[in-house]
């Protein structure tokens, strides 16, 4: 997974967590809404200045937005990361249902040891 795609996923995650539309985030950052969509899909590479504006618009630190982003390519075999990205594309209700199932499975596995 490329850094642009990972950054886009993170932008989308934090935007949704803050209950912002792409248009609202674009306004906070002084960007065009189309640009936010392109970033979220990993179609555009953001400049450092743009990433800084995004972190401010999202109300998070630049460090939080970029934390461990340089390890993405080396973690291509990381199943948890792959599951995370697939989950992020689902509606929140589906995410909650799947998370509940996963937690139950983990609990069963831990108690059967």
- What CATH number did the domain enclosing 48 receive? 1.10.260.40
Same domain, residue pair 35 and 9: yes
Specify whether the CB–CB gap between 81 and 87 falls below 8 A.
no
> Stretch 31-40: mean pLDDT, rounded?
96
CA dihedral 30→44→13→52, nearest 10 degrees, is -50
Q: Containing domain of residue 3, as a range? A: 1-71
Residues above pLDDT 70, as percent of the chain: 90
Same domain, residue pair 59 and 44: yes
Same domain, residue pair 2 and 32: yes
Does the pTM of the predicted model rise above 0.85? no
Q: Tens digit of pLDDT for each residue in 83-112? A: 877 888 889 899 999 999 999 999 999 988
Q: Tens digit of pLDDT for each residue in 9-30? A: 899 989 999 999 999 999 999 9
Distance set, CA 19 to CA 14, 51, 58, 78 (Å)? 9, 19, 10, 29
């Amino acid at each position: 997974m490329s850094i642009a795609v990972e950054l886009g996923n993170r932008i989308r995650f934090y935007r949704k967590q803050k209950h912002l539309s792409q248009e609202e985030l674009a306004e906070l950052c002084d960007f065009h809404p189309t640009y936010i969509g392109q970033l979220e899909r990993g179609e555009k590479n953001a400049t450092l200045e743009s990433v800084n504006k995004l972190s401010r618009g999202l109300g998070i630190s630049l460090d939080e937005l970029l934390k461990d982003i340089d390890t993405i390519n080396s973690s291509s075999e990381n199943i948890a990361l792959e599951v995370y990205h697939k989950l992020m594309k689902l509606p929140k209700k589906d995410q909650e249902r799947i998370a509940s199932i996963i937690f139950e499975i983990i609990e069963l596995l831990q108690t059967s040891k």
